[in-house]
Structure 1
Amino acid sequence: MDTKISEIADGIYRLSTFVPDIAPPAGFTFNQFLVLGDEPLMFHTGLRKMFPLNRDALSRLIAPERLRWIAFGHYEADECGAMNEWLAIAPDAEVAHGQTGCLVSLNDMANRTPRVLQDGEVIDIGGKRVRYIDTPHTPHGWDAGVMYEESTSTLMCGDLFTQLGNGPALTGNDIVGPAIAAEDLFKYSSLNPEMGTTIRALSKFSPRTLALMHGPSFFGDGAAALHALADDYDRRISGQHVKAA
């Protein structure tokens, strides 16, 4: 395996590792995002076992010890498995996450006390402003959240829009259809009545770039893609209610 680096928006880099053994023959990508600024921020740490790959890739962009902020969507191995490895090599780094994630997991699991972010709170990293947004149970995890970089209108989506394959780093093609297919296969989302509403609320930011954890990043009408994804989840939840009746 190797980790590829691509700039998907001004000063935002995708570090992508393709694993062909997951969901063959299509395979599956694991993506981290480095947001450059005076205080660089990394969204997703990658799996603990992938830490050497990601460390070496990141070192081609900045010295790893310069990392100041470590963030992710929710507490799960591919989102934050290497959290403590990054803390060990970046002495000034802090984990930043929402209140639920810190109370439930990170106050105990992180080797340094995390910074608790309120819903809508902004971290100014110098040259970039990154806003944290709570998305509980969406797509899964009570502690789930996303981050939005304001200057580039980039929404770091976590597991939203998950898809299979090893496509381009950045695409303008449909990402909703492949996400629907991945949901059909993995059934990874915690379907709940608020899911569509939560996803639609993200469209108010009118993101131009959607940074996917699993799949290519998307450049285009992010609000329309979010609405279409929300519509599909509404359909799934409505179907569950019909079956229950």
Structure 2
Amino acid sequence: MEQIKILDDFYKFTTENKAIPLTFNQYLILGDEPLLVHTGSVQQTKELVPKIKVLLDGQDLKYVFVSHFEYDECGGLEYLLSHFPNVKTICSAITLRQLVGFGFTNEVIVKKPNEILETKNFKLKFIAYPSEAHLWEGLLAIDLDRKIFFSSDIFIKMNNIFEKEARSNWKYEVDNLNNKDIPSIDELKTLQNNLRDIDVKYIATGHGPFLKLD
């Protein structure tokens, strides 16, 4: 697992799978109320936790954001909570239902599309995300302060796993979403319309290089 400092208070953690080839990314926002975006699989979380502890320097992790229910978004949640038992999990109602079904009992903040979670060091706005084959109600998030879009499993960049950062264009990324990303024409068009006018500077991809936008 590689740790990459993107901004002064913002880190990316990335694990390569050369067989696919694909990277798996998690992100950490530091500050008075630190936020982790995704846990990775349990194997990845076991590598991630020691790195987070060093960066936190004795501070507690406050939040973890889970965009949708899948192993690389929340597979290591139980392990994370064994080290940071006071973490509040941020997710959609459907994601919570899946977590509860696997025995999850910790504190959760359920958010809906267009709602905002504001803390001392970040301001997240949530966007509806019809995730995976079942089109379950997940969430995408924008850090309105840093203008970072957490894109989960859209804007995936394969075959360039050695790139840490890359440049792109927001219109290009949104226009090139397709049915592999969202397997429903109607849901795809709705998502594209919801994203088109967003003001962001960066895309924190779930898989692939961190994107800086022209």
What's the TM-score bracket when you normalise by the shorter of the two chains?
0.7 to 0.9
Whose strand proportion is higher, 1 or 2?
2
8 A Cα contact 1:65 1:89, kept in partner = no
Matches within 5 A, 1:146-225: 146-164=140-158, 165-173=160-168, 187=180, 189-221=182-214
CA separation of 1:48 and 1:153: change in aligned 2, threshold 3 A? same
**Cα shift at 1:140:** 6.4
Map Cα deviations across residues 206-245 of structure 1 (whole Å, 9 max, x no partner).
1110000100111114xxxxxxxxxxxxxxxxxxxxxxxx
**Cα shift at 1:194:** 2.3
**TM-score by structure 1 length?**
0.75
CA separation of 1:12 and 1:150: change in aligned 2, threshold 3 A? same
Greater C-alpha radius of gyration: 1
Map Cα deviations across residues 7-56 of structure 1 (whole Å, 9 max, x no partner).
334522111111212x2xxx210000111221111111100122221112
**Cα shift at 1:69:** 0.6
Residue 80 of structure 1 is aligned with which of 62, 69, 74? 74
Instruction: Verify: 1:48 aligned to 2:46, yes or no.
Output: no
**Cα shift at 1:157:** 0.4
Alignment-derived partner of residue 105 in structure 1: 98
Alignment RMSD, CA only? 2.7
Instruction: Verify: 1:118 aligned to 2:116, yes or no.
Output: no
Map Cα deviations across residues 73-96 of structure 1 (whole Å, 9 max, x no partner).
210001100011111111220111
Q: How far apart, in 1, do the equivalents of 2:182 and 2:86 lie?
A: 34
**TM-score by structure 2 length?**
0.85
Residue 19 of structure 1 is aligned with which of 17, 20, 38? 17
Classify the secondary structure of the residue corresponding to 1:50.
helix
Alignment-derived partner of residue 127 in structure 2: 133
Residue 66 of structure 1 is aligned with which of 29, 44, 60? 60
**Cα shift at 1:167:** 3.3
Alignment-derived partner of residue 51 in structure 2: 57
Map Cα deviations across residues 97-141 of structure 1 (whole Å, 9 max, x no partner).
112222x31233323142211222222231221222222247864
**Cα shift at 1:172:** 1.1
**Cα shift at 1:174:** 6.7
Q: How many residues align?
A: 210
| Counterpart AA for 2:162 | G
CA separation of 1:140 and 1:39: change in aligned 2, threshold 3 A? farther
8 A Cα contact 1:41 1:69, kept in partner = yes
| Counterpart AA for 1:84 | E
Q: How far apart, in 2, do the equivalents of 1:130 and 1:63 lie?
A: 24
4+ runs of 1 displaced by more than 3 Å?
A: 137-141, 173-177
Q: How far apart, in 2, do the equivalents of 1:91 and 1:64 lie?
A: 14
Q: How far apart, in 2, do the equivalents of 1:41 and 1:9 lie?
A: 14
| Counterpart AA for 1:89 | H
CA separation of 1:112 and 1:205: change in aligned 2, threshold 3 A? same
Q: How far apart, in 2, do the equivalents of 1:78 and 1:64 lie?
A: 26
Aligned-residue sequence identity (percent) comes to 22
Whose helix proportion is higher, 1 or 2?
1
